[in-house]
Structure 1
Amino acid sequence: MKRLSFLFQYIVNPKSVGAILPSSRFLGNKMMEGIDFKKAKYIVEYGPGTGIFTEKLIKNRNRRTVILLVENNKEFYSLLKEKFSEEENLFIVYGSAENIEEYVRDYDIPFVDYVISGLPFASLPEHVSSKILVSTTKILKSNGQFITFQYTKLKKAFIEQFFKKIDVKWEFRNVPPAYVFNCVNPD
């Protein structure tokens, strides 16, 4: 069911969904590798889709850790609201990651330890990507991490305009294979 919903949303909204299938558990594991779940107090996820990464965040987090999901696809937003309705300290916003500064204020989140992103930067307009990345650098705490995946390295140079250090890992067991960018602005 998730796969059909995902495929349908890709067909209807290819620029905002960015993939024909949900991410694999292998990609999910690679996205979570750099997160210190014992210390993380606030985690934001952009474009959670059907919640593949969200499930891993919930499973591994400290129970007091606050997770804020930002989803701009109405179908996925509704699915996430239903799927995670019983979760404590998990908030879901129907909106754009461009407005993340407003959302963290609305939920009294003073800083963010990690931002996890499933956004397709290769298909987003450059001005939208820039606004998202500038806002992300503003909400992250010192040495906070922005972790995203892309299907090519085409946007690496673009993302480097906003983050001083990017570690890249490749996950070939995803369809299609993907690169995980772990981005940070060290002190």
Structure 2
Amino acid sequence: MEIVNFIKQYIKNPKTVGAVAPSSEKLADRMVEDINFLNATCIIEYGPGTGIFTEKILNKKKDSTIFIAIECNLDFYKILKDKFKDETNFILINDSAENIKEYLDKYNIDKVDYIISGLPFASLPDTMSQTILSVTKEILKAKGEFITFQYTLFKMNLFRKYFDKIKRKKVLLNLPPAYILRCKNVKFINYFNKDNWS
């Protein structure tokens, strides 16, 4: 049923949905495998869609960790609201990721540990992408990470405008295959610990 809903939304909104099928279990596992759930106090997800990453995060996070998911598609929002209605410290918002700071202010949250994104930056308007990435950089903690996946590396230069270091890995078991990008700024990170960062 989820894949049918996803296809319908892709047909209606190809620029903001960005894929004809939900992300695979393998991609979801790889997206969250580097999150330090023990120490994270606040996690944000942009564009959760039907909630495959959302579910992984909810299953792994501490009860005390605040988890905010922001979804602009009303149909997906309704699916998520029903699916995760009983979760602890889970805030679901129907809005654009461009406006996430307004909600952090509303809930008295200053900075966040991780931002997970399913947004299709390759198809979003440039001004929207730049606004989202600028706000993302602003609200992340000094050692925070922005973790996104993309189907091509077309927007790497855009991501590099906002993040000093980007580590990437490819997941073949997804339709289509995807690149996961772990993005951070290393200003306050030990420069001698640079393994696999490029």
TM class, shorter-length? over 0.9
| Cα separation, 1, equivalents of 2:93 and 2:106 | 10
User: How do 1:82-93 residues align onto structure 2 when only pairs under 5 Å count?
Assistant: 82-93=82-93
| Cα separation, 1, equivalents of 2:182 and 2:33 | 10
2:93 partner amino acid: V
Measured after TM superposition, the shift of residue 110 of structure 1 is 2.0
Aligned twin of 1:12 = 12
TM, length-normalised to structure 2: 0.93
Instruction: Give the match's secondary structure for 1:121.
Output: coil
TM, length-normalised to structure 1: 0.99
Aligned twin of 1:134 = 134
Aligned twin of 2:160 = 160
Aligned twin of 2:124 = 124
User: How do 1:41-120 residues align onto structure 2 when only pairs under 5 Å count?
Assistant: 41-120=41-120
Is the aligned partner of 1:35 residue 2:7?
Answer: no
Instruction: Give the match's secondary structure for 1:166.
Output: strand
Write out the 4+ residue segments of structure 1 that deviate beyond 3 Å after TM superposition.
none
Instruction: Give the match's secondary structure for 2:44.
Output: strand
Q: RMSD value over aligned CA atoms?
A: 0.6
1:1-52 Cα offsets, whole Å, 9 max, x none, are 0000000000000001000000001000110121000000100000000000
Listed as ranges, the gaps of 5+ residues in structure 2 are 189-198
**Percent identity of the aligned residues?**
50
Listed as ranges, the gaps of 5+ residues in structure 1 are none
| Cα separation, 2, equivalents of 1:163 and 1:34 | 18
Is the aligned partner of 1:147 residue 2:147?
Answer: yes
1:33 partner amino acid: E
Instruction: Give the match's secondary structure for 1:179.
Output: strand
Measured after TM superposition, the shift of residue 75 of structure 1 is 0.1
